[in-house]
Amino acid sequence: MTCMNYRGCMGRGRTSALAVMLAVAVRGATVEIQLPLEANAFKQDLGAEIANAQCLICHSVEYVTVQPPLPRAFWKASVQKMQQKYGAAIPEGQIEPLADYLTRNYGKTNAATSGSSTLPASQPAPATLAHAGNLDGPQVATKYGCLGCHSPSTRIVGPAYREIAAKYQSDPDSAAKVEQQIQKGGSGKWGPIIMPPFPQVTPAEIKALTSWILGLK
């Protein structure tokens, strides 16, 4: 329709333009997107050290938490798929404990039908490495799945332990820095891959592991 009144048309044009600008301004002021904070470690429980060491190499904790609470057979099959189809370096001896952990914390626990070897609540967890005096760096690394990402001499996912020892050989605070890295995790020092924290490692185990790493030549 043709407008026969110039001023009226201009007035309506200004009103329309103002309405559009107000709508844009209102939308700009109200649209706010807040993404949830990502968890950087799995729930603390027996087996969390395996999940942190193995699962976080390829995906986030959220990849697990968004799964429905399914029974143990699902979680074991998922772990085996990661190992067999996607090449995850999960040792055979860690498949059952990892399936138990995921079922207990993120799935449907039903020991009567799932065949789970989950420890009863009244049964204490297996003892950690016997005594502080007997702690051995390679044993600690094996216990917590460290060797899935690191080896003494070859870069895997993270740096070789000899690379770490060489980097810190002249640093007087080397032990404290490596101990903090083990306990709190981090990224950026050796590339974009995130190292998960391992707060469940005891202080004596951390010292044994750090001493072994920094002693490599």
CATH architecture of 132-214: Orthogonal Bundle (1.10)
Q: Which of 106-110, 164-168, 206-210 has the weakest average pLDDT? A: 106-110
- Position 6 scores a pLDDT of 40
CATH topology match: 48-114 vs 132-214:
yes
CATH fold of 48-114 reads Cytochrome Bc1 Complex; Chain D, domain 2 (1.10.760)
> Rounded to the nearest 10 degrees, how much is the dihedral formed by the CA atoms of 200, 205, 211, 217?
-80
**Residue-level pLDDT at 8:** 46
- Identify the sign of the CA torsion 63, 65, 68, 69: positive
What is the pTM for the complete model shown? 0.50
Does residue 9 carry a pLDDT above 70?
A: no
The tens digit of pLDDT for each residue in 24-83 reads: 555 555 666 665 555 678 888 888 888 888 888 788 888 888 888 889 998 999 898 888
DSSP bridge partners of 186: 195
| Contact yes or no for 143/133 (Cβ under 8 A) | no
- Percentage of the chain with pLDDT > 70? 70
For the chain, the structural domain boundaries read 48-114, 132-214
Question: In the prediction, which pLDDT does 116 show?
Answer: 41
